[in-house]
């Protein structure tokens, strides 16, 4: 994809991000931060690409693998920890609905 279309993607993605969380109740600040943080681990795609495209026996394989490890630590841990927090809220709201 050429550069100017990628810039459009960047611009529209940023605008989308600004729009998405207009009104967040303070209750959710911590979980939202934690969830967004997990999503920022999307760099795992870059790490994967680096590993796949690396030449045989290139040090890039190791660098990519370490990078992938860091990213997945962020992603997997981030989603689990967010879920742990939110589980406490939803337990209450299901009780309320009954």
Site for other proteins in 42-71 (CB under 8 A): 42-71
Q: How far apart are CA 24 and CA 20, in angstroms?
A: 10
- In the shown chain, the binding pattern of residues 9 to 38 toward other proteins, with x for contact by CB under 8 A and - for none, equals xxxxxxxxxx-xxxxxxxxxxxxxxxxxxx
Shortest distance, CB of residue 30 to other proteins, whole angstroms? 4
- Interaction between residue 98 and other proteins (CB under 8 A): no
What is the size of the binding site for other proteins (CB under 8 A)? 89
Pick the closest to residue 33 from 78, 77, 88, 1 (CA basis).
Answer: 78
């Amino acid at each position: 994809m050429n550069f100017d279309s990628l810039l459009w993607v960047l611009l529209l993605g940023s605008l989308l991000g600004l729009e998405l969380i207009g009104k967040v109740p303070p209750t959710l600040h911590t979980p939202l931060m934690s969830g967004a943080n997990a999503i920022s681990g999307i760099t795992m795609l870059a790490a994967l690409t680096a590993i796949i495209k690396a030449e045989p026996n290139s040090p890039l394989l190791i660098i990519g693998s370490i990078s992938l490890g860091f990213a997945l630590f962020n992603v997997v841990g981030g989603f689990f920890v967010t879920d742990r927090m939110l589980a406490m809220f939803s337990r209450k709201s299901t009780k309320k609905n009954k």
